[in-house]
Amino acid sequence: MKKYLFFDLKFFFTVIVYTITIATSSAQANQNIESQIKDVIRKATEYFDNNLSVNGGYVWTYKQDLSRRWGEMEAYPSMVWVQGPGTVEMGHLFIDTYETTKDEYYYNLAKKSAEALIKGQLKCGGWNYMIDFAGDESLKKWYSTIGANGWRMEEFQHYYGNATFDDDVTAGASKFLLRFYLLKKDKHVKNALDKAIKFILKSQYPNGAWPQRFPLDNVDCQKNYSCYYTFNDNVIWNNIKFLILCYETLGYKNLIEPIKRGMNFYLISQYKNPQAGWAQQYNLNLKPATARTYEPAALDPQYTARHVEMLIKFYELTGDKKFIERIPDALNWIQSVVLEQKDSLVLIPKFVELETNKPIYIHRKGTNVKNGKYFFDYDNNNIPIHYPCVRLINFNNLKRQYQSAKEMNLENSSYLQFPFCIKNKNPIEIYNKIDEFLKLPSEKVFDNHKQEVTLNKVQEIISQLDSKNRWLTKNVFISNPYIDGEVSGDSNSNLYCSSYVGDKFDTSPFPNNTDEKFISTSLFIKN
């Protein structure tokens, strides 16, 4: 699924103030621009709160007249998106703004987002991708119409009535509630947070893995990938990170065992030599398995590189050398499937066939979900743009990380350890320090590419706010409206083999290439 890069508002605000301080000779001018920045943030936020918020929740994109709106797919007006950049990211932004400005207005907005998530929390304790405040029947209708006709959006084609770990949905919502709770210890939020923790513990398999969705009462786990042991979209890693934060900030010592079981699953799921990598998901026999029809039972070099970083992090947390013992095997396998070297970067296939070690490429034919299909072969021509079959990784940096880990010589610990002291720190400080520590190096790479903040840039952002206090943008993802009635099409067509979207019946999102401007949650967060 798509990932989004967000600017840290606290960092952004601090750099603005610092830059202005050294760029202006007048203290009065400095006060004026700070006041102007605060005023703009307030006005833009009030527009979102007064016009776009649904019970404190948000989707991703809105038409200017609000006649249509989208999360990852088109949403009803009664819906909010849990999956980012929606309600959770907006909630974090409000906390950032509150911590920066000390203005209670933003704390109350963060509380509204927390309340939206609590209202949408399922009885089991987790969350679905979206919340429909119009009720379950409205949500079922959405799944049977808009969701069912998204050709490439297979996770939205079925109504399960359960929660998902995909796209950091349940762990992400839980993490936000934890962060919000630590601010003022709101008991109502604590109840929902404890319910989420119990859900995550209950859904963990004995071997330490997590499924993509849970509960699985009405799911055939021999056939449905919802049950499979799931690495895709960092399901297991996100749950481990959340439990570590709870363990250290809430003092829940019972979490150490499930945390370590989760870490150990990375060891037992690594494939045999010479293909010492990992798959995106495994069936209940611990074999690499097919998930969506464009995700074959194959090994994934991109996830393998990410898992190397995680194993190093597990070693740092525990001092247990078992976590780095087979990293050389994984690095050797990645090297064996490199397609092209580009300085420190290497081009790798997304999927590699078991046993043959050949790259596998995705293709599709047809025009929509009713007559279209995906298939695989060894030909890298005419592959779909929505799921790239090759990826770039910094392989040299990965090897350097391993070499540094070997030289650490850490002591084995029964608990968790950090390269900084958290004794006598308040829970919010502990949360922030550990959250930063748990970021993988590949996730931090964008920190070095943050746009330089200057007075001119600040003034440009301010000037782009329109008369209604909105920032507008083009080239967002939209979709075809759902068409009620019989769906027709051509199962042999190659017209849409490389596109985001099929014919007029396909409700999958695609980039809008017109000059129309939209309201964007991600742009609001960035600005």
E strands, 155-308, in order: 163-164, 213-214, 229-230, 281-282
pLDDT at site 31: 78
Asked if residues 14 and 453 have their Cβ atoms less than 8 Å apart, the reply is no
The DSSP symbol for 482 reads: P
Q: Left if phi > 0, otherwise alpha if psi is -120 to 50, otherwise beta: which for 121?
A: beta
Q: How many CB atoms lie within 10 A of CB 232?
A: 21
Peptide bond connecting 215 to the previous residue in cis, omega within 30 degrees of 0: yes
Residues 6+ apart with CB under 8 A from 354: 271, 275, 288, 297, 298, 299
More confident residue, 448 or 375: 375
Over the stretch 245-262, which tens digit does the pLDDT of each residue have?
Answer: 999 999 999 999 999 999
pLDDT tier at 21, thresholds 50, 70, 90: very low
Q: What is the pLDDT of residues 184-243, one digit of tens each?
A: 999 999 999 999 999 999 999 999 999 999 999 989 999 899 999 999 999 999 999 999
Q: What tokens were used for 306?
A: 């990410």
Tell me whether strands 61-63 and 373-377 are parallel, antiparallel or unpaired. unpaired
Q: Is the pLDDT of residue 10 over 70?
A: no
The separation between the first and the last C-alpha atoms of the chain, rounded to the nearest angstrom, is 24
Exposure string over 447-471, b if 16+ CB within 10 A, otherwise e: eeeeeebeeeebeebbeebeeebbb
Q: List pLDDT tens digits, range 164-197.
A: 999 999 999 999 999 999 999 999 999 999 999 9
Dist CA 441 CA 450 (whole Å): 15
Confidence of residue 475 (pLDDT cuts 50, 70, 90): very high
Summarize the confidence of residues 304-318 as an average pLDDT.
98
Residue 342's pLDDT band (cuts 50, 70, 90): confident
Average pLDDT, rounded, for the chain: 94
| Per-residue pLDDT, 27 | 67
Q: Which tokens in the block code for residue 524?
A: 């609001």
The pTM of this model reads: 0.93
Q: Which of 93, 158, 152 is nearest to 128 (CA)?
A: 158
Q: Residue 451: is its pLDDT beyond 70?
A: no
CA 102 to CA 271: how far, in whole Å?
Answer: 50
Pairing of strands 79-81, 345-349: unpaired
